[in-house]
A and B are shown apart, each in its own frame.
Chain A
Amino acid sequence: MSGDQRRPSQPLRGRVPLDTLESLESLRPSSLPPELGDLDFKWDDDLAGSAGARHPDQTTSKLELDLDLDEGERPTAVPAIPMDQFVAQAMAEVERREQAGADLLPAQPFDMRSHPPVASFGAAGGDSSFPPTLPSNRVLIAQIPSAISSAHIDPLSVDLAEMDIVRPEIYLTPTEPPDDVLAQDQRLTIAPTEAARARQNEALEASMKPAADRQDLSRAAMKDRYAMGDFTSALEIAETLLASDSADLEAQRYATSCRDVLTQMYLSRLGGLDQIINVVLPPEELRWLNLDHRAGFLLSLVDGASSIEELLDISGMPRLDALKILATLREQRAILLGSR
């Protein structure tokens, strides 16, 4: 990483007036938060020489942070390409992998004792240019299942959400497992990573600090999660901040941006809003899945003729939640998607 690649060409963050929703909207189209929209995306990778990969909007500029963190201390890399392209590429990779090695995805019911751990991104033999090269000290999520596989877990007790474990590494390349993977179910008796322990300590310390300090910490955590590509966690934190102050414009921006990116991700996994959904598991087998009532409700709406968009319209659920559930149901092979 070379610091001299970051040359400021825009006013520093905090000096740009963003006091109206109008200005907020005008900055929204980027999948990155508006104030990060002018970043040089190559600040942290080894591809600095390939000028063609630069986002058209991202001319030379300097990364500016709210916190007094040195940029070098930030724990991850921003993708080398614009986020929307990054997501699209990632999803293409998902599809390619599914076609190339469908056996990597466990059939239902998922027996973790009988299935080998999912190969890590690199091991799957994917395109070496994607995802961006990671520093060697980073831990891939894909390594987690191997820990799980040795834990002798009752397959029927595996939570639906756990199934995410086998996939996020394909399009997210965080330095450590995202919070939700670790926190979703205590039955996953895996030891927390160093980073997770650090975060738990952070959270403990944060709970002992005054509210203002806690908010600052949360805000920093939100930005970090966002920069790491952990949009789910970033969104959760943004929503927590908004719960205490609904007028928090920065949290609003982050929440909107996270929702946009996550929506794109789930839609890419599902193949688009016009896909027709069919339930492929018979009712007695469906019962073996560990679903919640919301998934049950969505499944009850599937009639083999309605598209995803129609289902979203009639479910009355937040779109992002519904898309996430559908994507998970698809991974569990409970539903099948196809053209009309």
Chain B
Amino acid sequence: MERVIGIDLGTTNSCVAVMEGDAPVVVPNRGGYKTTPSIVAVTEAGKRLVGHIAKRQAITNAENTVYAAKRLIGRKWTSPQVKNTLLASSFAIVEGPHGDVRIRLRDKTFSVPEVSSMVLQEMKVIAEDYLGGPVTKAVVTVPAYFNDNQRQATKDAGQIAGLDVIRIINEPTAASLAYGFGKGFDRTIVVYDLGGGTFDVSVLEIGSHGVFKVVATTGDTFLGGEDFDARIIDWLVKGFREEHGIDLRQDRMALQRLRDAAEKTKCELSSVLETEINLPFIISTGRNEALHLQRSLTRTVLEDLTGDLIARTVNITQQALADAKLQVAEIEETILVGGMTRMPAVQRAVRQLFGKEPSKGVHPDEVVALGAAIQGAALVEDRHEMVLLDVTPHDLGIMTVGSHFEQLIPQNTTVPTSRAKTFTTSRDNQTAVKILVMQGESRKAEDNEMLGEFVLTGLKPAPKGELEIEVTFAINTDGIVSVSAKDMDTGLAQSIQVTATSGLTADEIRNMMHNAQEYMVERRTDEAFETERQRAETLISEVEEMFPVVERVVGASDFGRDALAKARSVVERARQAVQRKETQSVREQVDMLERTIRMFRGVVSRGN
């Protein structure tokens, strides 16, 4: 049966998991890390960097390093979130041809799904290396608040990366799955997710038959571990300025080192009470000397520095409870998600808020990916008890007079579904009505996202409030929303079909897929050559080490001289093949080198 991978495509870090037997396991990347930074960069030489290597140059090559692309995915250029991101972004964000968002790296412009696809492709490669074969299907998680366009953009990113995204599931739902919820008992839980760049809190009602209902979800897309790091950096910079009168922020190399050190320090202080920050040669003074930075930071000081950030998460959590119309006492479980929840002060704050210990059985960095892997396996194995139902992520409705939003299909309604409601005209002798199809939870239409619009004309002139117009919303199994408006008097009707869009056309997606495939072929070719080159060089060293012994044993004979000459020729040919970067040729020479070594070993053993 085909393996399905579960991917937590995070704002700052991503994680991939697969099912091994009955248990999900997280797959480590080549560096041995279980999470991979969701960072993509292009070097001066045009080389693509993804993951840790991209993170390590994120400040020194800030203009060409994309981080937190998830904040932009599926958003329109005009959206307030994009404007906010523009203010804080070090890379160039530009308007795309379809009102979408594009990112400029060096001399090339990328769509946001394309950038996310590079991260997904990396996760795919990690899983393929682990499983030893190709992977084509995935379950990808998204925040519960993602709208249809954002979900579609995430699916497109998967497609560009060569993955068939068989299901998009909510992150808090995935986390709940990993904790084993949904198996025979009902629960009301809170998922407190403090990640690297965002904070999300969701209240879920979990039914005993696999129904995961997101009752409320809220958060802050600009609050996460990076803010905690920034506080440590501020503290270090301030201390250094007081001591030496130098602002380390002015030097990118120094700032990159500060950032790396701050993150490391923060992690260390989750397990120890005090740690030392040691950055030798952090900056040159211009007087032919370099200064060192050496300071100790205690957990208490870190908690003082970041106390307000933790307080913000508590306020947002209280807001989520208020949105869900639930009291603290009604929450039965609290799940901690995201690396930042390892911080003792964060755990303490959650414990104090809910009056009970949060669940900590599953690794907070991995829990979402594990849940996605569980769901992936359930889908392909047809285990109905574990299969989540597709639900509408937000309310769907239309705008009515006074800029009010009238809901037709509420959030969390399972699809397919259909709902109708009757409306009337708001002016006398009105002969046309404009239907604005919207998505969102706000009662104010302007706060929600517009999905489409159409006009129903030819209405019979009549006093306001007399005509009846029936508006019907229908969502099919593919998530396509159809909206129709019908004049009940004349039978005149008009309709529109709304398909979630990432802002990319089918042709664009095809081209991007093609580019991604080409990149993978090139990468695999390079890797294959590298493997052969390393084998060849190891064998060459071995042959060369044996030369003196072989020469001593058989060098005096014609056969020996002949054998040695042939061996030297093999070594030379192998070197030339490596120099020419011809994988096949190197492979052939590796074979010859192995035969030479076998022959040499025979000679040596006889000589002894």
Q: Quick one: which of B47, B57, B280 contacts A287, CB cutoff 8 A?
A: B280
Complex Cα gap A301–B59 (Å): 13
A283-B278, A339-B537, A340-B534 known; A293 vs B45 contact (CB < 8 Å): no
| Other-chain contact of A314, B53, B279, B290, B537 (Cβ < 8 Å) | B53
Partner of A286 from B43, B254, B280 at Cβ < 8 Å:
B280
* A125 beta carbon closer than 8 Å to chain B: no
Let me know if B290 and A291 touch, CB within 8 A.
yes
B60 contacts which chain A residues (CB < 8 A)? 314-317
Known contacts A315-B60, A316-B252; A296/B537 CB under 8 A:
no
CB distance from B565 to the nearest CB of A (A): 22
B281-289, B301-309, B392-400 - interface stretch: B281-289
Main secondary structure of the interface of B (DSSP, over half): mixed
The residue in chain B whose Cβ has the minimal distance to the Cβ of A185 is B288
User: A305 in the interface, Cβ–Cβ < 8 Å?
Assistant: yes
Query: Are A293 and B254 touching (Cβ within 8 A)?
Result: yes
Chain B nearest CB, measured from A289 CB (Å): 9
For chain B residues 355-375, which have a beta carbon within 8 Å of chain A?
none
Query: In the complex the two chains form, is B57's CB within 8 Å of A313's CB?
Result: yes
Are A293's CB and B251's CB within 8 A? Answer: yes
For A111, the chain B residues whose CB sits under 8 A away are none
Task: Check if B283 sits within 8 Å of A293, measured CB to CB.
Answer: yes
Contacts of A185 in B (CB 8 A): 288
Tell me whether B351 is interfacial, beta carbon within 8 Å.
no
User: Are B56 and A293 in touch, CB under 8 angstroms?
Assistant: no
Residues facing B in A281-340 (CB within 8 A) are 283, 286-287, 291-297, 299-301, 305-306, 310, 313-317, 339-340
Check: A159 CB closer than 8 A to any chain B CB: yes
- A313 and B290 form a contact (CB under 8 A): no
Question: Least Cβ distance of A113 to chain B in Å?
Answer: 21
**Contact present for A297 and B257 (CB under 8 Å):** yes
A293 touches B53 (CB 8 A): no
Name the A residues within 8 Å of B533 (CB-CB): 274
What range describes how many residues of A lie at the interface?
20 to 34
A292 adjacent to B284 (CB under 8 Å): yes
Residues of chain A within 8 A (CB-CB) of B283 are: 293
B253 interface neighbour in A297, A310, A313, Cβ under 8 Å: A297
Residues of B within 8 A of A291 (CB): 280-281, 290
Task: State whether A313 and B43 are in contact (beta carbons under 8 Å apart), knowing that A291-B281, A292-B281, A296-B282 are contacts in the complex.
Answer: yes
Q: Is B61 an interface residue (CB 8 A)?
A: yes
Interface residue B49 (Cβ < 8 Å from any Cβ of A) = yes
Contacts of B284 in A (CB 8 A): 292-294
Q: Among B49, B253, B254, B279, find the residue whose CB has the most chain A CB atoms closer than 10 A.
A: B253
- B537 / chain A contacts, CB cutoff of 8 Å: 339
Q: Are A314 and B56 in contact (CB under 8 A)?
A: yes
- A296: chain B residues within 8 A (beta carbon): 257, 279-282, 290
**Beta-carbon nearest neighbor of B43 in chain A:** A313
A contact residues around B252 at 8 Å (CB): 316
Contacts of B53 in A (CB 8 A): 306, 310, 313-314
Q: How far is the CA of A295 from the CA of B257 in the complex (A)?
A: 12
Chain A's closest residue to B257 (CB) is: A300
CB distance from B328 to the nearest CB of A (A): 45
CB <8 Å contact, A297 and B278? no
Restricting to A175-195, which residues have a CB under 8 Å from any CB of B? 185
Q: Rank and list the top 3 A-B pairs by shortest CB-CB distance, nearest first.
A: A296-B281, A316-B60, A314-B57
A–B pairs, 21, beta carbons within 8 Å: A286-B280, A287-B292, A292-B290, A293-B251, A296-B279, A296-B280, A296-B282, A296-B290, A297-B254, A300-B257, A300-B260, A300-B279, A305-B31, A310-B53, A313-B45, A313-B47, A314-B56, A314-B60, A315-B57, A339-B537, A339-B538
A residues bordering B, Cβ < 8 Å? 159, 185, 274, 283, 286-287, 291-297, 299-301, 305-306, 310, 313-317, 339-340
- Taking A286-B280, A291-B290, A313-B49 as known contacts, 13 extra A-B pairs with beta carbons closer than 8 A to each other, sorted by chain A number, are A283-B278, A294-B253, A295-B281, A296-B257, A296-B280, A296-B290, A297-B253, A297-B256, A314-B53, A314-B56, A316-B44, A316-B252, A339-B534
